[in-house]
Chain A
Amino acid sequence: MSRFNWAPTAYKLLNGVLCIYKPDQTPVHMVVESLKSRLCKDLNALPCYQHEILMPSKVKENLQEKSLSLKVDPSGIEDWSEHRLVLGDRYEESDIKIHFVDGISKHSSGVLVLGLGMFGRESVEMIAMSKYLRVYHVKGRFGWATHNFSPKGRILQRTSFKHVTTAKLEKVCAAAQAAHTREMYRLSGVNPDSQEAYEMASSGIIRPAERKTSPVLYSIKCIDFQPPDFTLEIHSINESCLFLRQFIHQLAIKLKTTAVCTAIRRIRYGTFDLQRALVRQQWHLDNIIDNIESNNELLTPERLLIGHLAERVQLPPPSHQYIGHSKGDQHLIGEEVTDDFAKSNEKELIVDSKTCLSKRMPSQNRDPSDTKLSKPPAYSWWWCLFAWIPGVLQLMEGCLSFTNAGFDICICSSIVVQDKAKMGETFHLFQHLALNYNGFIAGCLYHIALPSVYGNYY
């Protein structure tokens, strides 16, 4: 039973941003249709016309007649052409306007942000401009490759995956993330060696300047590995579901095997998280209005204008190929993939060998000009430690540090240094450590101004 007793009141409240959980196996346009029809059904169940709310007040206490049947007094209705049975239901599906932002494909599920009505449409446009960070849980399965990267596609290749371990998977993830970090600077149009880059990185993540350019992955983490299944947590902007599926495919190729993407689940869209999302069973008028009201608190200017900072700068041309997403692969969709399959494999292997080479031969005090990056970024250091020393990073005080991947041989760690003066100090600390522990050598792979996605960033 609805808490409203007059449909136009409820209809006016359907104006704002709605956050739902899109179920699996349903395309977004069907979700929108189903929302519309449910809203219309609920609205039309309420009193919609004047005669429907005026009638009860005209019913008086029955003193004369003994019969209990309540008869509607026809004289009470002045204008018959205003009756519901004449004009029909007041609300039709076309009365409700729903716009969505950054939809997800049919076979993926997760948080979806919709705008209802005029205000909703404007807000959704603002949200689109602000380029929120999206978090995905992407599931993959090793063993075979299909023409469209989904498990139901036509199988192209079967491979063994016995050699894949958690450590190897995490290594590839870390490499892809590093490559995307460089891409992040290119797309944001900011010089990675500048003070501006440092400030941007320290205040939050660095967003791409334009919407719908090439995707940027901010963090790739393996959160579950039960061969043949694995789950990655991916923070990204500008991605599409096809890109994520393709990414799984390319990740597997780097691991010398193949994989398909079994599920994509979006668990966060900027400030909209799972807590707010309404599942399909909750899509009713009252729930939706409550949700719209609670979402209003997220539509503050500082949240909505967050992506506008990057709008002003111009993009430099793409300078290099990077892992996980090369320029040539952008048009790979559906059938075309099969034609380019062999070619892309070759290309991948070349990229792969190069990165492996640079990974395996880090030198101390490496000259920045030798690396693929032409302009060396500053302020944060990526280290390669050739030993297995758990907990070594805890030794360092005053440095915020996190491990990107724990490897058998190689620990690729990064240390975030808050200002430039500490950079040399940290480097010496590592050298010192390397001398103390005989088994390992420290070397700087590259340093980069690096934002973290593990804060409250959206």
Chain B
Amino acid sequence: MHPSLRLDKICFLKLMKSLSKGLYNEARYFSTNVTRYYLHQNHLVNLNNSSHFYHQNHFLQSCISLDKHYSNYFIICIGNISRILLFVPSHYNTNVSFVRWYRSRTRDMRQQDSNLVEAEEVDNTVSVMDRVTPNELSDLNMKQGVVSVHEKGIEPHTSSNEVQNVDEFTLPELSRTSMSLVPYVKRSLTLQKLVMLGVNLDKVQRVKEVPELLLKSDFKKDLLPLFKFLSNIKVPVKDMGKIFTENPLLFKENAQNLELRVGYMIHKKFSLKDIASMTIRCSIFLLMDPHKLDEKLGFLQNTFQLTGQEVRHVAMTYPKILPWRQELIADVRFHIKEFIGFSDSELKEIILKEPSLYMNNKNAMVKRFEYLHNTMLLDHHQVVQWPGVLSSRMFIIKTRHMFLLSLGRAQYDPCQENFVSLKALVTGTDQEFCHNVAKCDVNKFYDFCKTI
């Protein structure tokens, strides 16, 4: 740490002290240095795009962000420092959540706590900010010597060439750094259309380079081919938003590339309907290289001795297994083979019935099997009948089994009457379980849970 910065840190502590004592003039004296320190440390809270800018113009006297080690709050002061405008919890360290927080809080709290949150005032300052020209802004940046937060926000674009690429935005808007897409949505038709299609911009913007890409792209020219491609492989429109939300890197893909990959799947005798349903559930496989996809399908076939039809069945029932790492699948298979003692044919049966089991925590599965085998006295064959029980939660198995035991209904042998299948034991809500299996009131079950 630079010596002067260490000094600033001391200033910060003094500031906190003076604020807590109510000595606002003193606090104001310390605040300037503190801001510099935190700007340097990249702990800057970027209130509506440029806090340093507010600072210079005396709209925002100081905007201090404190990291978690020092306090629970950002303190944002507007106007005179004696009027502390907002206390923002420190975990809102990105602008988007701040805006969301701010919007939700102001609406709820405006009446209750008018001296703590003064929403109108913030709105006014924001509207004044819009009128500032870019030259002024860059000058201010120079004077301030601020380390702007590049890695989180959108880089400022100053050259005129780039501005022409962007249809909607003017220079001042792009010169500001922002940590989220929120300020742009109001103007950008592209973003609005994506929202209409159900793309969650909040999640999409967290992926590196995607928000920049979306801002620069034109919906009709750049994004429409992707949506057209999806509708070509019969993905319903209502699911498209979900696909892009879960897999924002798809925006960077070329539609022709995607067609190539789907072509590979069709070559492997997947029907178009299968591919569509797989895309909805796990669109990441569209980003996979056909060579790797081929390798993965081959791996599944060889490890579990599956036929071609069975491999397709596994990929269809649980497409998430395709991008999963081979070594992990092999490791889980080895572990449950050696520690639980399933035979090869039983392992094959498991992957056909419940492929997700091979992506589970292996130690937890062994623990559950131990309980099923040693306490509930079930054998391997019964577990393989419904392997999903190995991925259900331990407390569900335990409480329900003990409850059935107390009622005298814990009977897991299919050859005798009052048979309780593992699926009936584990799945369903408590109401369903009590009605169908335990045949008693739910409250009785809850009372029983309180005795464990």
Contact = CB atoms under 8 A, between A and B. Distances in A.
A72 B100 CA distance: 23
A279 interface: yes
A370 interface: no
B117 interface: no
Interface in B396-452: 430, 446, 449-452
Contact of A82 (B103, B200, B201): B103
Contacts of A92: 97
A83 B449 contact: no
Contacts of A81: 182-183, 185-186
Interface in B169-200: 181-183, 185-186, 191-192, 195-196, 198-200
Contacts of B202: 85-89
Nearest to B446: A279
A33 to B, nearest CB: 14
Interface residues of A, number: 31
A86 B449 contact: no
Contact of B452 (A72, A80, A109): A109
Contacts of B203: 88
A280 interface: yes
Contacts of A103: none
A331 interface: no
B92 to A, nearest CB: 8
B240 interface: no
A151 interface: no
B108 A8 contact: yes
B99 interface: yes
A28 interface: no
B450 A274 contact: yes
Nearest to A79: B186
Mostly, the B contact residues are: helix
B104 interface: yes
A132 to B, nearest CB: 19
A90 B104 contact: yes
A88 B449 contact: no
B97 A83 contact: no
A86 B97 contact: no
B325 to A, nearest CB: 27
Contacts of B198: 85
Nearest to A89: B202
Interface string A82-112: 1101111110101000000000000001000
Contacts of A90: 100, 104
A281 interface: yes
B104 A86 contact: no
A280 B192 CA distance: 41
Interface residue range, chain B? 20 to 34
A88 B185 contact: no
Contacts of A109: 452
A56 interface: no
A160 interface: no
Contacts of A279: 446, 449-450
Contacts of A274: 450
A274 B451 CA distance: 9
Contacts of A282: 446
Contacts of A94: 89, 91
Nearest to A278: B446
B358 to A, nearest CB: 26
A12 B452 CA distance: 33
A336 interface: no
B96 A88 contact: yes
Contacts of A280: 395, 449
Contacts of A83: 185, 195
A274 B448 CA distance: 11
A90 B186 CA distance: 19
B107 interface: yes
B199 to A, nearest CB: 7
A8 B96 CA distance: 19
B194 to A, nearest CB: 8
A11 B107 CA distance: 13
Contact of A80 (B91, B104, B186, B450): B186
A277 B446 CA distance: 10
The 9 lowest CB-CB distance pairs between A and B, nearest first, are A88-B202, A279-B449, A87-B100, A81-B185, A80-B185, A94-B91, A85-B195, A85-B200, A86-B201
Given A8-B104, A87-B202, A281-B446, 19 more contacts: A12-B108, A21-B450, A23-B452, A80-B186, A80-B191, A80-B195, A81-B183, A82-B103, A85-B199, A85-B200, A85-B202, A86-B182, A87-B96, A88-B97, A109-B452, A277-B450, A279-B446, A279-B450, A282-B446
Interface of B: 89, 91, 96-97, 99-100, 103-104, 107-108, 181-183, 185-186, 191-192, 195-196, 198-203, 241, 395, 430, 446, 449-452
18 contacts: A8-B108, A24-B452, A79-B186, A80-B186, A81-B186, A85-B198, A86-B182, A87-B202, A88-B100, A88-B200, A90-B100, A90-B104, A94-B89, A94-B91, A109-B452, A279-B449, A279-B450, A280-B395
